[in-house]
Amino acid sequence: MNPNKPLHSHLQEKFVQELVKNKGNQRQAYLGAGYSNQKGNMDLVDQKASRLLSEVKVKSRYEYLYNKMNKVALDKVQWTVDDSLRELMEAYKTAKDSGQLKYWIGGVKEINNMMGFNAKNINTVNTELNYADYLKELEGKKF
């Protein structure tokens, strides 16, 4: 069984896709895939959904799709944060260079916010992050 290929059973494949979509909720996935609601007996639905997920090929396919989805989501979020910081640094430098103090301060505040340096988070900031070095690194890059 190759987990990167769809399952042979349409219902099983739909169950796995629904499971990923519903963040692991087996009952919702089971019903969303089109399996019987067991005449409203949700305990029986839960048992059947659990049994289905315990099948090696179904579990392997679920883990493959779940990990793939998380990697795509993480890559997208990481790019968005980096891209936002680059754009903000450009605006910050423009405001600083043109003497627009109000916008320069606003840029510094927003960068601090994005890096977690705000009143709400100040006690939980990751001390391994050297903010000054990060700003110097960003200022040295061409955008």
Question: What's the pLDDT tens digit per position in 103-115?
Answer: 777 777 777 777 6
The answer to whether position 3 is within a domain reads no
Let me know whether 86 and 111 are in one domain: yes
The answer to whether position 100 is within a domain reads yes
pTM of the predicted protein model: 0.53
The H or E element that residue 76 is part of is helix 56-97
Cα dist from 76 to 5, 10, 53, 98, 103, whole Å: 24, 30, 29, 33, 28
Check which CATH number belongs to the domain holding 28 and give it: 1.10.10.1400
The answer to whether position 136 is within a domain reads yes
CA distance 85 to 114: 8
Let me know whether 97 and 134 are in one domain: yes
pLDDT in tens, 15-37: 999 999 988 999 999 999 999 99
Let me know whether 61 and 21 are in one domain: yes
- Parent domain of 65: 10-72
